Amino acid sequence: YTVLQAETYRNMAVATAVIFLATTIVIGLFENKKKFAISVYGTIISVSSIIAMGFTLLEIMTISSIKLNGISMVNVVASIGVYVEFSVHFVNQFLRNQFSSKVEGAKGALSLVGFAVLQGALSTIIGVIPLAFTTFPILQIFYFKMIIIMSAIGALYGLLFLPALFSLIGVIVPVNSELKKRAIKE
């Protein structure tokens, strides 16, 4: 178990590092230096939430008596990639669109991608419902239960946690003078 736990953490770290690099490049690829720095900041917040989602999954597995084994380890590491979908799109919309304040930015980004995040989570949950009725416990535990948990965690972070976090610590850079005037008034 100790070796498996260490291997899980190592694989999560490698997956997260690759995601950080890829996300930084994709979000900030065609930006100037100032916007690239903001993209790195947004990526740090996004990857931090992905790490938090991964550890939330491990915590819920413990509470739900799902043991860490080879199958659950693969699910945990794969969840890191799945969680990108729940966070990076929001972050990208927050950073790329012109909003007058952090709160408006969080609302605007959520209005642009919130439905897609919800739809993704619900379609995944609906897709695995038949596994709840299988007679194979391995399918019920490691695929039905874990995928439901992964989707719920992703939706909660993507629809509630990230918008709240970005409304508090997100970075807004007004680009044109009209936006600058509105930002100053707020």
pLDDT tens digits along 104-156: 999 999 999 999 999 999 999 999 999 999 999 999 999 999 999 999 999 99
Instruction: Check residue 1 and give its pLDDT.
Output: 66
Residue 32 gets which letter from DSSP?
-
Instruction: Give pTM, 2 decimals.
Output: 0.82
Which of 16-30, 62-76, 83-97 has the least mean pLDDT?
16-30
Is the predicted pLDDT of residue 28 greater than 70, yes or no?
no
Residue 127's Cα: distance from chain center in Å?
Answer: 20
Mean pLDDT over 167-179 rounds to 67
Question: How much of the chain exceeds pLDDT 70, in percent?
Answer: 88
